[in-house]
Structure 1
Amino acid sequence: MSSNTLEYAITLDQQDSLARYREEFYLLQDKIYMDGNSLGLLSTRAEKKLFELLESWKTLGVDGWTEGKHPWYFMAEQLGDRMAPLVGGEKSEVIATGSTTTNLHQMVSTFYRPSGKRTKILADELNFPSDIYALQSQIRVHGLDPEEHLVRVKSEDGLTLDENRIIDAMTDDIALIVLPSVLYRSGQVLDMKTLTQVAREKGIVIGFDLSHSIGAVTHELHNWDVDFAFWCTYKHLNGGPGAVGGLFINERHFGKEAGLAGWFGSDKTKQFDMDHTMTAAPDAGAYQIGTPHVLSLAPLLGSLEMFEELGMDKVREKSLALTRFMLDCIDDELQEYSFGIGNPLDDSRGGHLLLQHNEAARICQALKAQGVVPDFRAPDGIRLAPVALYNSFKDVWEAVQILKTIMKEELYKEFPNERGVVA
């Protein structure tokens, strides 16, 4: 059977052991959702848990902190325990807290102590801008110039990074390394194990932004001996817009004073002593800052159940199968329309694909108008993310057919070639 037919897509869906989870999500009516790497869809389980937390507020008031089905006071720790398998961490090493950027600030303020020759932070030129802004501001806090003290590894092609170049940049003036696990444009998965091993040998603290990998890619942070990691939960984890983020800190560092202290980093038994001398939690909980956003934690109580039932190996297997099938369809159907493929063609890619075209902004608008939801990344990127839990192989086939029609009939020319306020 041909690999790019509707019949073959349906056959793959019939063989898919994850297919039943699609029914648990609120799929957008008459749309094919391919933007789960920006914001995952709402599931009935996540919705249920949110309503349960609202009910506890309604019926218990302040006692909801310690009573009810999901006491709020311990939610960050409990959700950290449940996220730990997704990143390959020990339960004590993971906490649900903050946001991607605030957690990065916490880790940099904790580990970046420029002294002597080691004064620089190593990053890369393809990283998400928020991470770069945070690193620049942390360097300024120490009275240093980011132009000199933030080293960004260059990309040869503007899409991917060469791990050997990163390793070559691990010189004896580097105090800290912060890299993405998956590049947000191209979807390249970096070799975190090797990069961490070399950083360890050179005595450099290394951390990773897992925002585009958690829930789509497997990790072994503890076994790899990564120092820290941070992530959001609203993409592949389907935690909802603005959902509380996550933080991993290797148990080797337990007891290290948090750079940014706040009362929710306290030992839970001491927190309400109200002592002006802080007794920090003995684990990753010490790196919390303020009171958890309980209603933004709530959906994770439900969405994480699916990952617990399946395990990340099965999720990763289907994710790769979906993107592999989409690449095959693109290769068969779109060759004459001047698309470039910006993501790795082998399995060293995350959960999304990057199509490049000089009319990308207007093509994305045309896709939305025709019922396919992608996202645009400047200057010329169309990101398509078929998500393992709720996208089907039929979705993939139909999305490519719609894109072919848009190109063949030049429907994209009805739109301006510029992005919206939110892309």
Structure 2
Amino acid sequence: MLLTAEYAKKLDKEDHLYRFREEFYIKPNTIYLDGNSLGLLSKRAERTLLESLHDWKEHGIDGWTKGKHPWFFLSERLGEMIAPLVGAEADEVMVTGSTTVNLHQLVATFYKPEGKRSKILADELTFPSDIYALQSQLRLHGFDPDTHLIMVKSRDGRFLKEEDIIEGMTDETALIILPTVLYRSGQILDMKRLTAEANKRGILIGFDGCHSIGAIPHSFSEWGVDFAYWCNYKYLNGGPGSVGGLYINKKHFGTAPGLTGWFGSKKEKQFDMEYSFTPEESAGAYQIGTPHVLSLAPLLGALEIFTEAGIEKIREKSVKINRFLMDLMDQELSNMGFSIGSPYEDERRGGHISLEHKEAARICKALKANGIIPDFRAPNIIRLAPVALYTSYSEVWDAVEVLKQIMVEKQYEKFENVRDVVA
């Protein structure tokens, strides 16, 4: 079937999520395909941020317990809103910290080397910040990361084989940290299978959900995942620097946090100012410091949209619009030096498509010059993320047509093939 602009318009008319585009600030004459790095601002997120600012203005210190969005229980309220997106109970989820801070907290809590069971299993395609944190935690325990951080190899530099990960689950493994979705290729790992295999061997397993939350459904509690952590500024549209999130399986409630701080206290005890720590009996125990209220506030509005749209419907459109993008690439960009570096199987692919080209950095700059906002990952990846809530099929069609024109006219030759400071 030949894909056309008219067919893209037909798909837009049939799109049950199309109405949510009006919820977002979409810059005129721009096609935003970088929601996998930073989601767009919604009008609801703007509203709840302004409401929280008003609470501060109106109530001062009393904003902790008064106003539209009292701050003292704000993290718990947001955890309850996010819980359905990760397949967890409300008290298993907390909005707190940042991705790397939460990883440090979780490893400090659950990495308990004993005898020869002292190694951490990760993979060589994960986001570098996770590796930095794991190296740091190993050093704090007196171990050399070169010998105690085992990184599962990729056979092709794009994807991971679950069989290879399972093979790495040895009797020397104390903890496993893996991504839910690989940040470069967009491959979804089989979390259910990997968790079952880890549980079978008595190894704790945690997942980095940064590139999946808000894009795909999860069932962390049902699968028996021990813990997870993520950021909220990509598909969840919480804003730059938005507070992160963590999940703790309730079977671990009562496990002492590795890093303690007063916001992990039982709420009724927190202001007793005692020197003995009384932790919450929930994921709340793993908070450390005072919540960043003005970075939490936009999430209140952003998550309202997810509650209305439903993660299953979001995933349904995401699969369909990404398939449309991949088919368009095959139709329009053949013989131009591109390779698709994402899984072709819909069930194995997350929310973005990776397009590989030796001139990727300068092609990204040419796209931006034409009003298309992509994402570059060294050395040769153009990441494109049609986001279900605000990207239209017609925009995907137009973006591919612009990319085709850039290649035919060699517009990219005007730019250096090096990344900008922020890629």
Instruction: Measure the CA separation in 1 of the matches of 2:321 and 2:396.
Output: 7
- Which residue does the alignment assign to 1:96? 95
Q: For each residue in 1:136-161, what CA deviation from the matched residue of structure 2 results, as whole angstroms up to 9, or x when unmatched? A: 00000001100000000000110100
Give secondary structure in 2 for the equivalent of 1:335: coil
Equivalent residues in 2 for 1:369-388 (5 A)? 369-388=369-388
Equivalent residues in 2 for 1:385-396 (5 A)? 385-396=385-396
Q: How many angstroms does 1:73 deviate by?
A: 0.3
- Which residue does the alignment assign to 1:367? 367
Would the aligned equivalents of 1:354 and 1:383 in 2 still touch at CA under 8 Å? yes
- Which residue does the alignment assign to 2:140? 141
Instruction: Measure the CA separation in 2 of the matches of 1:336 and 1:399.
Output: 18
- Which residue does the alignment assign to 2:202? 203
Q: How many angstroms does 1:3 deviate by?
A: 4.6
Gaps in structure 1 of 5+ consecutive residues: none
- Which residue does the alignment assign to 2:312? 313
Aligned residue type for 2:245: G
Equivalent residues in 2 for 1:182-201 (5 A)? 182-201=181-200
Is 1:421 aligned to 2:421, yes or no? yes
Same amino acid, percent of matched pairs: 63
- Which residue does the alignment assign to 2:397? 397
Instruction: Measure the CA separation in 2 of the matches of 1:29 and 1:141.
Output: 50
The alignment's C-alpha RMSD in Å is 0.5
Give secondary structure in 1 for the equivalent of 2:125: coil
Is 1:83 aligned to 2:91, yes or no? no
Give secondary structure in 2 for the equivalent of 1:240: coil
Q: How many angstroms does 1:69 deviate by?
A: 1.4
Equivalent residues in 2 for 1:145-156 (5 A)? 145-156=144-155
Give secondary structure in 2 for the equivalent of 1:140: helix
Would the aligned equivalents of 1:3 and 1:328 in 2 still touch at CA under 8 Å? no
Q: How many angstroms does 1:4 deviate by?
A: 1.7
Is 1:242 aligned to 2:241, yes or no? yes
Give secondary structure in 1 for the equivalent of 2:350: coil
Q: How many angstroms does 1:33 deviate by?
A: 0.2
Q: How many angstroms does 1:29 deviate by?
A: 2.3
Q: TM-score, normalised by structure 2?
A: 0.99
Aligned residue type for 2:174: A
- Which residue does the alignment assign to 2:331? 332
Q: For each residue in 1:132-186, what CA deviation from the matched residue of structure 2 results, as whole angstroms up to 9, or x when unmatched? A: 0000000000011000000000001101000000000000000000000000000
1:76 to 1:289, Cα distance in 2 relative to 1, 3 A: same
Q: For each residue in 1:214-247, what CA deviation from the matched residue of structure 2 results, as whole angstroms up to 9, or x when unmatched? A: 0001100000000000000000000000000000
Equivalent residues in 2 for 1:14-413 (5 A)? 14-347=13-346, 348-413=348-413
Gaps in structure 2 of 5+ consecutive residues: none
Q: How many angstroms does 1:404 deviate by?
A: 0.2
Would the aligned equivalents of 1:372 and 1:399 in 2 still touch at CA under 8 Å? yes
Give secondary structure in 1 for the equivalent of 2:175: strand
Question: Which aligned segments of 4 or more residues in structure 1 are displaced greater than 2 angstroms?
Answer: none
1:276 to 1:3, Cα distance in 2 relative to 1, 3 A: farther
Aligned residue type for 1:398: D
Instruction: Measure the CA separation in 1 of the matches of 2:363 and 2:68.
Output: 47
Q: For each residue in 1:188-212, what CA deviation from the matched residue of structure 2 results, as whole angstroms up to 9, or x when unmatched? A: 0000000000000000000000000
Instruction: Measure the CA separation in 2 of the matches of 1:324 and 1:185.
Output: 17
Instruction: Measure the CA separation in 2 of the matches of 1:160 and 1:59.
Output: 52
Instruction: Measure the CA separation in 1 of the matches of 2:283 and 2:318.
Output: 30
Instruction: Measure the CA separation in 2 of the matches of 1:368 and 1:157.
Output: 30
Instruction: Measure the CA separation in 2 of the matches of 1:3 and 1:392.
Output: 19
Aligned residue type for 2:350: G
Instruction: Measure the CA separation in 2 of the matches of 1:104 and 1:387.
Output: 26
Q: How many angstroms does 1:336 deviate by?
A: 1.3
Aligned residue type for 1:421: V
Q: For each residue in 1:339-362, what CA deviation from the matched residue of structure 2 results, as whole angstroms up to 9, or x when unmatched? A: 011000011110000000000000
Would the aligned equivalents of 1:72 and 1:294 in 2 still touch at CA under 8 Å? yes
- Which residue does the alignment assign to 1:13? 12
Aligned residue type for 2:379: P
Give secondary structure in 1 for the equivalent of 2:3: coil
Instruction: Measure the CA separation in 2 of the matches of 1:86 and 1:392.
Output: 23
Give secondary structure in 2 for the equivalent of 1:73: coil
Q: How many angstroms does 1:255 deviate by?
A: 0.3
Aligned residue type for 2:319: L
Aligned length: 422
Aligned residue type for 2:264: G
Instruction: Measure the CA separation in 2 of the matches of 1:173 and 1:201.
Output: 14
Instruction: Measure the CA separation in 1 of the matches of 2:15 and 2:241.
Output: 31
Q: TM-score, normalised by structure 1?
A: 0.99
Instruction: Measure the CA separation in 2 of the matches of 1:95 and 1:333.
Output: 44
